[in-house]
Amino acid sequence: MYLKLIKIDFIFNLMKKKTLLLFFIFSVCVSYAQKEKFKGQGPINIVATDSKPVQKQWKGEFKFSDNDVTFSNEFEGARLNGITQNNDSTYTALITSENTPINISPWYTFKVWSKKKQTINLILTYQELIKHRYYPKLSTDGIGWVALDSMRYTAYNTGNTKTFGNSALPLKVKLRLDIGPDTLWVAGQELQNSTLVNSWIDSLTQKKYVTKSTIGKSTEGRDLNMLSLGNTDSKNRIMIISRQHPPEVTGYLAMKAFVETIASDSKLAKKFRNKFATYVVPLMNPDGVDNGFWRHNAGGIDLNRDWANFNQPETRAVKDFMEGLVAKNKGKFYFGIDFHSTWDDIYYTVDPKLKGNMPNLVPNWLSKVKENIEGYDPNISPNDKLVPTTVSRNYFFIEHGAEALVFEVGDNTPRDFLKEKAVIGANELMKLMLENIKNK
């Protein structure tokens, strides 16, 4: 898709129709996901989840005195394993994973600056058999991000005809960057490390009906923070989690908008919070996020394969919280959602023939989402193979009867569209759940 956009960008730049270009790219991205459906992943493999070693990256500054250029990975969430200088204006970076085997989600984030203003070429390379996945974003402060101009992006060794997956990716890419005394941040997706996530959590707790608690510690001792929204004395509950996999930022951004809608001052949200307690773990894998890992936690494990064995402290913390709450004052979890990111938007649901605490909630909800977004046809992949539980969706449904799903947001989903779906989704869910609970 990026190659198509590069050609389009070139044509419109020649025509100097910048506004039309931005509108066209947005339209293509929105309609694209609707025309070519991502088929989703195959059956989930059951794997051992006992901890195994991870390789920590060296942290520091990579200095090149010839041109007074410095690269740095000295911050939470950084990933830059090595860099060499090819010539006066070109550098090659190496990005490697925390351990293997691992899926192709090569996360990268670093800072670069120089004493004088100059333009450099930066080639991103990866370990053997790994390709480039995330389109580069730039920032001047690590908070606000914009995509790199497509005219400054070159993909190599493509030769691809596929739209999704490994075969659609280039082996390496070249970025053309303007640098100077002010720091330039480069990342695969918007940086959202634990400091930034916790800042967002704290901002929500300014509302009197939102509280923060810690339900456990990660492998490296970081807090696993949870938000509680609404009437926590209610026996009607929903569970929301996000960021089991560190680079999956689009899922996290959708989760933020979803939760902010439930926490809003709308009449609907107030009514929902009176009837339901909402529990949110926004950052399931703080160690992986802050270490700049591609996929795993500090125990070297994919957390979303540990919902049957619970060998990792992060999954155990959620399990203990949910089961402890039910044991304490009974009640039910009626809905559970786990936000992720993948090649394109897809909803991994429980097969509708299987009935939980609020039958048909998820199919009806997704139908409402479709009705309320013009031209949108949700890509839904139901599953009836839920034992062993293995992943969060299966655990939520099998152990708690919660109508559950994994919502995977596309890596390149436009941020405005991502937010629109999350806001509409939250509102339609609240309406349906209030109507259903009234009839119980």
pLDDT, tens digit, 9 for 90 and up, residues 345-358: 999 999 999 999 99
pLDDT at 159: 65
Q: Are the CB atoms for 301 and 206 separated by under 8 Å?
A: no
54 CB-near residues (< 8 Å, 6+ apart): 98, 99, 291, 293, 296, 298, 299, 300
For the cut 60, the answer to whether the pLDDT of residue 237 exceeds it is yes
Please confirm whether the linkage preceding 414 is cis (ω < 30° from 0).
Answer: no
Across 158-276, the runs of DSSP E, i.e. the strands, are: 172-179, 184-187, 210-217, 223-230, 236-242
For the cut 50, the answer to whether the pLDDT of residue 63 exceeds it is yes
pLDDT at 33: 42
Helix (H, G, I), strand (E, B) or coil at 203: helix
The pLDDT tens digits for 275-303 are 999 999 999 999 999 999 999 999 999 99
214 CB-near residues (< 8 Å, 6+ apart): 223, 224, 225, 226
Class assignment of domain 55-187?
mainly beta
Mean pLDDT within 127-154: 97
- Rounded to two decimals, what is the model's pTM? 0.92
For the cut 90, the answer to whether the pLDDT of residue 1 exceeds it is no
130 CB-near residues (< 8 Å, 6+ apart): 97, 104, 106
Kindly report the average pLDDT of the chain as a whole number. Answer: 92
DSSP one-letter code for 163: S
pLDDT at 190: 98
pLDDT at 439: 73
Helix (H, G, I), strand (E, B) or coil at 243: coil
pLDDT at 32: 37
The pLDDT tens digits for 177-206 are 999 999 999 999 999 999 999 999 999 999
Q: How confident is the model at residue 36 (pLDDT cuts 50, 70, 90)?
A: low
| H or E stretch covering 363 | helix 361-372
For the cut 60, the answer to whether the pLDDT of residue 258 exceeds it is yes
Q: Are the CB atoms for 29 and 413 separated by under 8 Å?
A: yes
Q: Are the CB atoms for 315 and 345 separated by under 8 Å?
A: no
CA atoms of 270 and 256, how far apart (whole Å): 18
Question: How many CB atoms within 10 Å of residue 367?
Answer: 15
Q: How confident is the model at residue 35 (pLDDT cuts 50, 70, 90)?
A: low
Helix (H, G, I), strand (E, B) or coil at 388: coil
Q: How confident is the model at residue 163 (pLDDT cuts 50, 70, 90)?
A: confident
Q: How confident is the model at residue 440 (pLDDT cuts 50, 70, 90)?
A: low
- Measure CA 267 to chain center: 29
The pLDDT tens digits for 315-362 are 999 999 999 999 999 999 999 999 999 999 999 999 999 999 999 999
- Structurally, at CATH architecture level, domain 194-438 sits in 3-Layer(aba) Sandwich (3.40)
Q: Provide the residue ranges of all domains of the chain, joining segments of one domain with +.
A: 55-187, 194-438
pLDDT at 269: 98
The closest alpha carbon to 242, from 234, 230, 233, 254, belongs to 254
The pLDDT tens digits for 95-114 are 999 999 999 999 999 999 99
For the cut 50, the answer to whether the pLDDT of residue 12 exceeds it is no
Mean pLDDT within 376-394: 97
For the cut 70, the answer to whether the pLDDT of residue 366 exceeds it is yes
